Amino acid sequence: MAKKKVTKKKTAKKAPTRKKVVKRRTPATKRKDTATKLNELAHAVADQVEDGKDPGVAIPTRALSNVSFDQKAGLIRMGDNAQRRSFFNLGQAKKFMQTMLVASGSNALIRQAKTTSIRDLFYHCKHTIAGTRENTFDEQSESDPIIEDLEVTLGSLREELGLFAEPKGAMVGPMTIVDNGDVIDLSKMGSGGWAVPSIVEDHVIQFKRGSAKFVLLIEKGAVWRRFSEDRFWEKHKCMIIHGGGQPPRGVRRLIWRMHNELKLPVYVLVDNDPWGYYIYSVVKQGSINLAFESQRMAIPDARFIGMSSYDMERFEIPKAVTINLNDQDIRRAREILNYPWFQKKQGRTYPWRNEINHMLKLGVKLELEALSNKDFSFITEHYLPRKLKDKQWLD
Amino acid sequence: MAKKKVTKKKTAKKAPTRKKVVKRRTPATKRKDTATKLNELAHAVADQVEDGKDPGVAIPTRALSNVSFDQKAGLIRMGDNAQRRSFFNLGQAKKFMQTMLVASGSNALIRQAKTTSIRDLFYHCKHTIAGTRENTFDEQSESDPIIEDLEVTLGSLREELGLFAEPKGAMVGPMTIVDNGDVIDLSKMGSGGWAVPSIVEDHVIQFKRGSAKFVLLIEKGAVWRRFSEDRFWEKHKCMIIHGGGQPPRGVRRLIWRMHNELKLPVYVLVDNDPWGYYIYSVVKQGSINLAFESQRMAIPDARFIGMSSYDMERFEIPKAVTINLNDQDIRRAREILNYPWFQKKQGRTYPWRNEINHMLKLGVKLELEALSNKDFSFITEHYLPRKLKDKQWLD
């Protein structure tokens, strides 16, 4: 599709009857763009039918072969390869139909000014084809990749289509936002915090005033709570946010927006284990699976503030609270060691290679909670303040 | 311990130097009670040592053998059996030490007026015993059951000790609460909602004014979002809350408090599958594993509003969106069918047995999202309003 963008712009314009249905305060200009692109796609296919041609769409290839690391931008990027998916092809007919159904479902969603889960959309599109025993979809594992196809084909994030996954994560800090029309002071959210929704695009969330100087992403909710309870965000003027492990898209996208729109530096605080490095890596450069989204999710400037494999010595953490690396950890660490974005040279050293090799040499991993061995608030009162002060981070 | 409650009240009183350390607005009377009980425990043990006796504590037995269903109260209850855990017993010495360490860690937490995760507490208590290679704890799987032991021994919930698990879940609705001193209007929480914290005891969360008439617990976050986006809570004057699957303790306890303190009826909306029945069952009667907490968590009056195995016919849901029961589902359903609290008779029928048997007869399960096949908002605009109006629930 990407190459055919110009074909049908005029016809597409009459499409959106959607304004009548908009119930709430969503300016939703981006969703309107997405609706326009969806209509272009539909009209292009309809034109092929009218012209007596085999209808089809060009879907950019989502595979490792079509992905590369953009050294300059510091992002994982998708290449230009695309494949035609057409109706009169026995191997593609079903997928073609499914693509049209998902596109149609997404369009219905935008016209109704609603959002829904990817599971909902699966059920929305699932039915038995009249006169047969064949279902349009049998499993959600069929519709999920089609959603990704549609994202890359249209150049729209799924959030712009109105699709989301299970929400996860919370945020507090000195900032006032508008969420779906409600003004929310994130410094007055008690112990629970504001639950970060899946869709945080600017038609839903707008940033208002605030005094935050940086964003701190914390791997785990339980550790985040320590920072919240100790009011770290107040003393250090920052937003604290967690995503319950690997941060979901909503959390990543929100941090991206705070970084790019509000120019806030981003610090990532994770366990010292290969999984922690990987979480940081995805926040920083994007994931290989979804390279397409990197440009609008990845934060190449994100800093790794901890835990570092050198922290054990720096902070005199007792051996008893470390955990031995298992075979899977070692395999994973070696894999990550070879990621192109961890090959950065600084002067004569490779700080990231050193970091990971040092963990391998010690043979142990270290969780954030291990710092509680010193004192419950050691992490908020000593560990992080010192690391920030001494600029002990990697990027 | 329960039988020795009176022993040492006087000495215990001098303990709390904690008021000096309280930084925030927590009246924390309950935690003070817990601190008193912890001190009684410690003094009882110290007295045994001083008297030259084998120090030990009586821990109520947490096993199926010590659990029964209280028909009248509609709760799973713990019996009176207890076991002595003492120091001069080779098989118990380590556990006795661990019990003292966890008690001491919990006490430190209360004195500092802090809360922390159960993983944090594990690390806090973990160290290598001087002059040996023996650790006090090796895995969290050792400290977690000790926490439960301590809960039942003291008769305090872990939340009163200041311990929590990963937070999960969100809530919105027409109610204003105070969370850790912050006044929060839950009708103005945007699309994200208020993240329900793990500790919702009344020293943290207080209910203020509100116009909610009932509480709706929704199994999944993604479905909850549909209700939030459609502002179901506004039209139907209710609190909507989810716990991301099996609701965590914080969510259960918060619903319990709204039910008991605000007299709000509770409706549970889950998938129509054995797992959904089980979630309802835990909300209603408590779980067998943690029978002790039932009295302060279980809601015997909670109503099962859906999805029922009869809804497929009632709402003409197409066969294509159902999922066949697998062997595990069938096994699980039969198990649940025999739970004592599902044997209730109404007139001449057994509504719960009918419900579960009907699902087994149909041989399919049905997810909440399947209703999207009709329309994205079918669930909020037709399904639930009709079920509420027609009183189509089970209890």
The string of DSSP letters for A90-155 reads TTTHHHHHHHHHHHHHHHHHHHTT--EEHHHHHHHH--BPTTSS-BS-SSHHHHHHHHHHHHHHHT
Question: Is there a catalytic annotation at residue A123?
Answer: yes
pLDDT digit string (tens) for B171-192? 999 999 999 899 999 999 988 8
Residue B354 neighbours by CB under 8 Å, 6+ apart: none
Q: Is residue B64 part of a domain?
A: no
Q: Distance (Å) from the C-alpha of residue B162 to the closest C-alpha of chain A?
A: 12
Inter-residue contact B109 to B26 (CB < 8 Å): no
Name the token pair of B279.
């979630």
> Of A191, A143, A193, whose CA–CA distance to A163 is shortest?
A143
- Judge whether A297 and A253 are in contact, CB under 8 Å: yes
Q: Are residues A138 and A189 in the same domain?
A: no
Residue of A nearest to B369 (CA): A120
Contact between B229 and A114 using a beta-carbon 8 Å cutoff = yes
Q: Lowest-confidence range among A22-31, A126-135, A291-300, B85-94?
A: A22-31
Q: Which of B115, B126, B189 sits opposite A182 (nearest CB)?
A: B189
The residue type found at A50 is E
Counting one residue from chain A and one from chain B, the pairs whose CB atoms sit within 8 A come to 202
Max intra-chain CA distance, chain A: 75
DSSP character at residue A261: H
Q: Is-contact B208 B179, C-beta < 8 A?
A: no
A221 sits in which H/E element: helix A221-229
Say whether pLDDT at A22 is over 90: no
Q: What is the pLDDT of residues A373-391, one digit of tens each?
A: 999 999 999 999 999 999 9
Give the distance from residue B375's alpha carbon to the nearest chain A alpha carbon, in angstroms. Answer: 7
User: Same domain for A183 and A319?
Assistant: yes
As a whole number, the mean pLDDT across chain A is 89
Instruction: For A359, list phi and psi in degrees, rounded to 5.
Output: -60, -45
Inter-chain touch A191–B204, beta carbons under 8 Å: yes
* Contact flag A117-B369 (C-beta cutoff 8 Å): yes
Active site residues of B: 123
- Taking alpha carbons only, the member of B268, B308, B310 closest to residue B285 is B268
pLDDT for res B374: 92
Tens digits of residue pLDDT in B220-231: 998 999 999 999
- Distance in angstroms (rounded) separating the CA atoms of residues A332 and B204: 41
pLDDT category at A340 given cuts 50, 70, 90 is confident
**Cα–Cα dist A189/A101, whole Å:** 41
Separation of alpha carbons A273 and B283, rounded Å: 37
Chain B contact probe: residue of A21, A123, A140, A218 with most B CBs at under 10 A: A123
C-alpha distance from B21 to closest chain A C-alpha (Å): 13
DSSP H helical ranges for chain B: 9-13, 29-50, 93-111, 118-125, 140-154, 158-161, 221-229, 232-235, 249-261, 274-285, 294-297, 311-314, 327-337, 351-362, 378, 384-389
Tell which wins on pLDDT, B52 or B209: B52
Question: Does residue A190 share a domain with residue A136?
Answer: no
What is the pLDDT, as a whole number, of residue A325?
95
Read off the pLDDT of each residue in A92-106 and give the average, rounded to a whole number. 96
Q: Which residues of B touch A378 (CB under 8 A)?
A: none
Give the 3-state secondary structure of residue A266. Answer: strand
A220: chain B residues, CB-CB within 8 Å: 166
Beta bridge pairs of residue A205 = A179
Q: Which of B112, B142, B164 is the last residue of a domain?
A: B164
Averaged pLDDT for residues A10-32:
46
What integer pLDDT is reported at residue B5 of this predicted model? 41
Which among A97, A132, A164 is the end of a domain? A164
* Residue range A270-289, pLDDT digits in tens: 999 999 999 999 999 988 77
Residues of B in contact with A371 (CB under 8 A): 123
Give the pairing of strands A116-117 and A163-164. parallel
Cβ contacts (< 8 Å) between A165 and chain B: which residues? 222
Cα–Cα dist B165/B59, whole Å: 23
CATH number of the domain where residue B109 is located: 1.10.10.10
Distance of CA B310 to the CA centre of its chain: 29
Evaluate if residue B3 carries a pLDDT over 90: no
pLDDT at B198 over 90: no
The larger pLDDT score, comparing residue B361 to residue B346, is at B361
Give me the CATH number covering residue B266.
3.40.1360.10
- ipTM score above 0.85: no
* Angle between helix B274-285 and helix B249-261 axes, rounded to 10 deg: 50
* Mean pLDDT, residues B309-327 taken together: 94
Copy the structure tokens of residue A255.
């941090």
Residue B69's DSSP bridge partners are B76
A147: closest CA among A45, A38, A256? A38
Distance CA A307, CA B44 (A): 41
Confirm whether B243 is domain-assigned.
Answer: yes
Distance CA B292, CA B79 (A): 9
pLDDT in tens, B247-268: 999 999 999 999 999 999 999 9
Give B8's pLDDT tier (boundaries 50, 70, 90).
very low
**Closest CA of chain A from B140, distance in Å:** 11
Q: Which domain holds residue A144?
A: 2-164
Kindly determine whether residue B321 and residue A123, on different chains, have CB atoms separated by under 8 Å.
yes
Task: List C-alpha distances in Å: B304 to A69, B171, B301.
Answer: 52, 19, 10
> What are φ and ψ of residue A306, in 5° steps?
160, 180
Instruction: Tell whether A193 and A241 lie within a shared domain.
Output: yes
Q: For residue A308, what are its two tokens? A: 């570092």
A139 and A259 belong to one structural domain: no
Contact B115 A182 (CB under 8 A): no
Residue A200 covered by a domain = yes
Bridge-partner residues for A215, per DSSP? A239, A266
Return the residue in B126, B128, B316, B376 with the most chain A beta carbons within 10 A, the one to mutate for interface testing: B376
The type of residue at A194 is W
Which of B116, B121, B195 lies at the smallest CB-CB distance from A170?
B195
Out of B115, B128, B199, closest to residue A320 by CB: B128
Q: Do A221 and B377 touch (CB under 8 A)?
A: no
pLDDT for the residue numbered B48: 97
Asked if the model's pLDDT at residue A8 lies above 80, the reply is no
pLDDT of residue B240: 98
| Statement to judge: residues A189 and A156 lie in one domain | no
Q: Which residues make Cβ contacts (< 8 Å) with residue A261, sequence separation at least 6?
A: A207
pLDDT band at A20 (very low <50, low <70, confident <90, very high): very low
Same-domain check for residues B300 and B352: yes
B chain contacts of residue A135, beta-carbon cutoff 8 Å? 320
Using CB atoms, pick whichever of B108, B183, B190 lies closest to residue A182. B190
Total number of domains constituting chain A = 2
A128 occurs within a structural domain: yes
**Which residues of chain B make contact with A180, given a CB cutoff of 8 A?**
190-191
Minimum distance, in Å, between the CA of residue A169 and any CA atom of chain B: 8
Strand partners, A272: A366
Q: Is the model's pLDDT at A30 over the cut of 90? A: no
Q: Do B195 and A193 touch (CB under 8 A)?
A: yes
In a domain, A25, yes or no: yes
For residues A221 and A357, state if they share a domain.
Answer: yes
Question: What gap in Å lies between CA A311 and CA A270, rounded to an integer?
Answer: 12
For residue A394, being part of any structural domain is answered with no
Quick check: is A15 in a domain? yes
Residue A125, amino acid: C
- Residues of A with CB below 8 A from B114's CB? 229, 376-377
Residue B136: pLDDT over 90: yes
* Average pLDDT in chain B: 89
Nearest-by-Cβ selection for A244 from B166, B180, B194: B166
Integer distance in angstroms from the first to the last C-alpha of chain A? 37
SS3 B217: strand
* Percent of chain B whose pLDDT exceeds 70: 92
pLDDT of residue A350: 95
The per-residue pLDDT for range B64-79, each reduced to its tens digit, is 788 888 888 888 888 8
Q: What is the pLDDT of residue B292?
A: 82
**Cα separation of B127 and B134, whole Å?**
8
Integer-rounded Cα Rg, in Å, for chain A is 23
pLDDT of residue B29: 66
Report the residue from A182, A192, A369 with minimal CB separation from B120.
A369
Domain boundary among A144, A164, A184: A164
Which residues partner with B77 through β-bridges? B68
Cβ–Cβ below 8 Å for B373 and A124: yes
Instruction: Indicate whether B59 belongs to any domain.
Output: no
Q: Do A179 and B192 touch (CB under 8 A)?
A: yes
Residue B363: burial class (beta carbons within 10 Å; 0-12, 13-18, 19+): exposed
Query: A216-250: per-residue pLDDT in tens?
Result: 999 999 899 999 999 999 999 999 999 988 999 99
Mutation pick from A140, A159, A191, A241 vs chain B, by most beta carbons of B within 10 Å, is A191
What is the β-pairing status of strands A170-172 and A194-195?
antiparallel
Sign of the dihedral defined by the CA atoms of residues B178, B183, B185, B190, in that order? negative
Q: Measure CB to CB from residue A126 to each of B108, B165, B320 and give the nearest one.
A: B320
- Of B30, B331, B368, give the one whose Cα is nearest residue B227: B368
CA atoms within a 13 Å half-sphere pointing along the CA-CB vector of B289: 4
Same domain membership, residue A187 and residue A101: no
pLDDT at A15 > cutoff 80: no
One domain for residues B158 and B187: no
In contact, A280 and A256? CB cutoff 8 Å: no
- CA distances for A149 relative to A45, A282, B70, B129, angstroms: 16, 21, 55, 57
Q: For residues A184 and A216, state if they share a domain.
A: yes
CA A248 to each of CA A165, A229, A299: distance values in angstroms, whole numbers, following the listed order: 8, 23, 15
| Helices then strands, each counted (H, E), chain A | 16, 17
Q: How confident is the model at residue A21 (pLDDT cuts 50, 70, 90)?
A: very low
Non-local CB neighbours of A361 within 8 Å, separated by 6+ positions: none
> At A31, is the pLDDT very low, low, confident or very high (cuts 50, 70, 90)?
confident
Amino acid at A129: I
Taking an 8 Å cut-off on Cβ atoms, the answer to whether A190 and B197 are in contact is yes
Residue A76 and residue A34 in one domain: yes
Q: Which long-range contacts (CB under 8 A, 24 or more apart) does B244-247 make?
A: B244/A166, B244/A168, B244/B168, B244/B169, B244/B220, B245/B168, B245/B219, B245/B220, B245/B279, B246/B279, B246/B282, B247/B168, B247/B169, B247/B217, B247/B279, B247/B283
Q: How close does chain B come to A55, measured CA to CA in Å?
A: 27
